[in-house]
Amino acid sequence: MKDAIIIVEGPQGVGKTTFTNNLREKLKATDLYRLSGIKDRTEAGQQKIKVKYEKLMEYMENCSDVNLLFDRTFFTNEVYARLGYHNYDFSKTYEMLLNKLDNLSNLDKYDIYFVVLYLENESLYEQRIKRDKHEYQKFEVQSSIDQQREYLKMADEIEKQCKNIKVLRFENSTEEKSAQNVEKYFKILM
Q: What are the pLDDT digits (tens) for 28-56?
A: 899 999 987 777 888 888 999 999 999 99
Q: Give the Cβ contact number of residue 137 at 10 Å.
A: 11
How far apart are the C-alpha atoms of 8 and 17, rounded to whole Å? 9
Q: What is the mean pLDDT of residues 133-141?
A: 62
Which own/partner contact pairs does 81-87 have at CB distance under 8 Å and 24+ positions apart? 82/150, 83/146, 83/147, 83/150, 85/41, 85/137, 86/41, 86/45, 86/46, 87/41, 87/42, 87/43
User: For the whole model, what pTM was predicted?
Assistant: 0.93
**What is the side-by-side order of every strand in the sheet holding 165-171?**
30-34, 67-71, 3-9, 110-118, 165-171
Number of independent structural domains in the chain: 1
How far apart are the C-alpha atoms of 128 and 4, rounded to whole Å? 29
User: Whole domain around residue 13: which residue ranges?
Assistant: 3-189
- Residue 67 and residue 31 in contact, taking contact as beta carbons nearer than 8 Å: yes
Neighbouring residues of 113: CB distance < 8 A, sequence distance ≥ 6: 4, 5, 6, 7, 165, 166, 167, 168, 185
> Is the per-residue pLDDT at 81 higher than 90?
yes
CATH number at 126 reads 3.40.50.300
Predicted local distance difference test score (pLDDT) of residue 136 = 45
Half-sphere exposure (Cβ direction) of 152: Cα atoms closer than 13 Å: 14
Percent of the chain with pLDDT over 90: 66
